[in-house]
Structure 1
Amino acid sequence: MVDRSKTFQIIANAVMILLVLFCLVPFALLIVSSITKETSLVKYGYSFIPREIDLAAYKYLLVDSTDIIRGYGISALVTVVGTICNLTITTLFAYPLSRKNLPARNALAFFLFFTMLFNGGLVPSYIMWTQTFHIKNTLAALLFPSLMMNAFYVIMMRTYFTTNIPDAVIEAARIDGAGELRILSQVVMPMSIPIIATLALLAGLAYWNDWLNGLYYISDDRLFSIQVLLNRMLLDVQFLMSNSDAAKSLQQNEEFVLPSTGIRMAVAVMGALPILVVYPFFQKYFVKGIVIGAVKG
């Protein structure tokens, strides 16, 4: 019996090591490719050991570091403010739904589920946000459309409240004279750190990686988030490579090779780097929050 347990542990550890490698190896290749000379990539293909190191891709992206710094600042601001607003709205919606004595509880739950299945579509949403709420070319355009609240997050948090916050604790607080707001802030929230951290990570990732809202609603380059800015730079490179006149002018300079492949890799590295820095602080709560807050039958 002991041998079987040890064998199972060895196999499980080997599988986990392979899964970790599947996650780390592509990212390592991405980083190495971003600092490999373009001609070397074209001639020899991708390699974990760069034949010729060249930082031309990062030099191109950072040619005007002011734009990059501003883009990072806007993305950080929108991510922090948006995540806080998302968690606030999600919590204020999920907590009442977790209470069985809430009037019209089923109607509110149906309204929530309905938004998961149907929406107005892109064109009506665009008209509403630009002509009714007038958010075009404002930071609100990066905060509100499609990101402020997610029905699935509400369901996860409601399930966590229902299954992990004992009714006896809430009743005891109510007997002691606490109101619903005080119960939520001083009793329920401290007991819900795992699901809060999990949803904060998910919402933060959604805000940080979002570039569609910037594409739809932002035309002022001073309001570009880092994702929109990097995407715009990538499109500029593709235009230079596909435009015949631009390509001829580049070919006249034999020493200059536009690192189109390297830029794609550098863009991915610059976009993912802040998330890799932040994720370890949330990782210990992530698995627990996902498992406990998952929808149960």
Structure 2
Amino acid sequence: MSSVAKTVQPVAKKKKFRTGQLILGILLGIYTLFCLLPVVLVFIVAFSSNDSITTKGFSYFPSSFALEGFEYVFRYGKQLLVSYGVTITVTVVGTFVGLLFMSMYAYSISRRDFRIRKFFAIFMIFPMLFSGGQMASYVIFTQMYHLKDSIWLLILPLSVTTMNVIILRTYVATSVPEELMDSARIDGAGEYRTFFQIVLPLMKPALAAVGFMMATAYWNDWQNALLYIESESKTPLQLLLVRIQKSIEFLLNSKDISGSALAAMQGNIPQYSCIMATVIMVVGPILVVYPFFQKYFIKGLTVGSVKG
């Protein structure tokens, strides 16, 4: 009887475990569905006709489909391509520069034999707790650094953030063996060679996770462009799309245009499908890139948060 009982207990535990997994899977599936439905609605509305939105509102089953929203956005043709180029350049350069600076900073404050590492750690955390504000930043960038209408103002303010440095520092301290760096020093390698040839290749998961977050922040940033950029040749995509939405709102709410002309213009403006089209143009590239970084993104954040 005892042997039978010992055999039955693992089977019961295994069935209970499978049942728990099934329930958890169902709950996660429902949660995923609720998160996915708004995204699906955005795509459907973007391809819905203006008449369908007017009569049925936002619906998963529109009466007719059209490309009116995209056609209105594509009227900006050349400027749209220029803004895409500016955003891609800022995202790539800013992510590369930020990862280089922050990884070097993180490596420095992770070394126990670095005498002033505590000072630099406090120096890094202090701006996160106390900030001079937007007005002080604007005065410094424009009056002292003379960077008004410079593309560097789209790159430098977001290149180094305290939280990203903490993630990288924690990864180096917990995942890169200190004996490996000591052996490199014994073999005659300097700090730069140790960092670039030994430490940096081992930081790929953390760099991918932080790099994806940085790229997303650069891609979605439009406030710095609104404050500092004046030239159309330096206007990023997000600021251009904000201006498109503002122009639509102006035309729909304008009181300086005659009634017949205003009615004709308002009838030709696909307000909601145009807004959803702009959302797709902003979010689309991120949705395409994310699956390639997902593995490193999860691994890097897990190591940086749990082991720290």
**Pairs within 5 Å for 1:5-20:** 5-20=17-32
**Pairs within 5 Å for 1:193-272:** 193-246=204-257, 248=259, 249-252=261-264, 256-272=267-283
Which whole-Å CA distance do the structure 2 matches of 1:73 and 1:252 have between them? 34
**Paired residue type of 2:108:** P
Which whole-Å CA distance do the structure 1 matches of 2:15 and 2:306 have between them? 37
Please report how far the alpha carbon of residue 11 of structure 1 lies from its aligned counterpart in structure 2 after TM superposition: 1.5
Structure 1 residues 225-277: Cα deviation after superposition (integer angstroms, max 9, x where no partner): 000000010000011111024473131469x4311111111111111111111
- In structure 1, the partner of 2:144 is 132
Is the alpha carbon distance of 1:273 and 1:253 closer, same or farther for their aligned partners in structure 2, counting shifts above 3 Å?
Answer: closer
Which whole-Å CA distance do the structure 2 matches of 1:41 and 1:165 have between them? 55
SS in 2 for 1:17: helix
Q: Structure 1 residue aligned with 2:303, among 289, 292, 295?
A: 292
Please report how far the alpha carbon of residue 168 of structure 1 lies from its aligned counterpart in structure 2 after TM superposition: 1.3
Moved more, 25-34 or 49-58: 49-58
**Are 1:149 and 2:160 counterparts?**
yes
- Listed as ranges, the gaps of 5+ residues in structure 2 are 1-12
**Paired residue type of 1:20:** T
- Listed as ranges, the gaps of 5+ residues in structure 1 are none
Give me the CA root mean square deviation.
1.6
Work out whether residues 116 and 151 of structure 1, in 8 Å CA contact, stay in contact via their aligned partners in 2.
yes
**Paired residue type of 1:130:** T
Which whole-Å CA distance do the structure 2 matches of 1:257 and 1:283 have between them? 41
**Pairs within 5 Å for 1:76-91:** 76-91=88-103
**Pairs within 5 Å for 1:7-156:** 7-145=19-157, 147-156=158-167
- In structure 1, the partner of 2:285 is 274
Work out whether residues 155 and 295 of structure 1, in 8 Å CA contact, stay in contact via their aligned partners in 2.
no
Please report how far the alpha carbon of residue 189 of structure 1 lies from its aligned counterpart in structure 2 after TM superposition: 1.4
Is the alpha carbon distance of 1:246 and 1:271 closer, same or farther for their aligned partners in structure 2, counting shifts above 3 Å?
Answer: farther
**Paired residue type of 1:203:** M
Work out whether residues 184 and 194 of structure 2, in 8 Å CA contact, stay in contact via their aligned partners in 1.
yes
Structure 1 residues 89-140: Cα deviation after superposition (integer angstroms, max 9, x where no partner): 1011100110111111111111111111111111111011011111111211
Moved more, 125-134 or 45-54: 45-54
TM-score (normalizing by structure 1):
0.95
Please report how far the alpha carbon of residue 20 of structure 1 lies from its aligned counterpart in structure 2 after TM superposition: 2.4
Is the alpha carbon distance of 1:107 and 1:247 closer, same or farther for their aligned partners in structure 2, counting shifts above 3 Å?
Answer: farther
Please report how far the alpha carbon of residue 49 of structure 1 lies from its aligned counterpart in structure 2 after TM superposition: 2.2
TM-score (normalizing by structure 2):
0.92
Could you say which structure has the higher helix fraction?
2
Which whole-Å CA distance do the structure 2 matches of 1:51 and 1:184 have between them? 60
Moved more, 29-38 or 168-177: 168-177
Of structures 1 and 2, the larger Rg is shown by 2
Which whole-Å CA distance do the structure 1 matches of 2:126 and 2:88 have between them? 32
- In structure 1, the partner of 2:174 is 163
**Are 1:176 and 2:168 counterparts?**
no
Report percent identity of matched pairs: 37
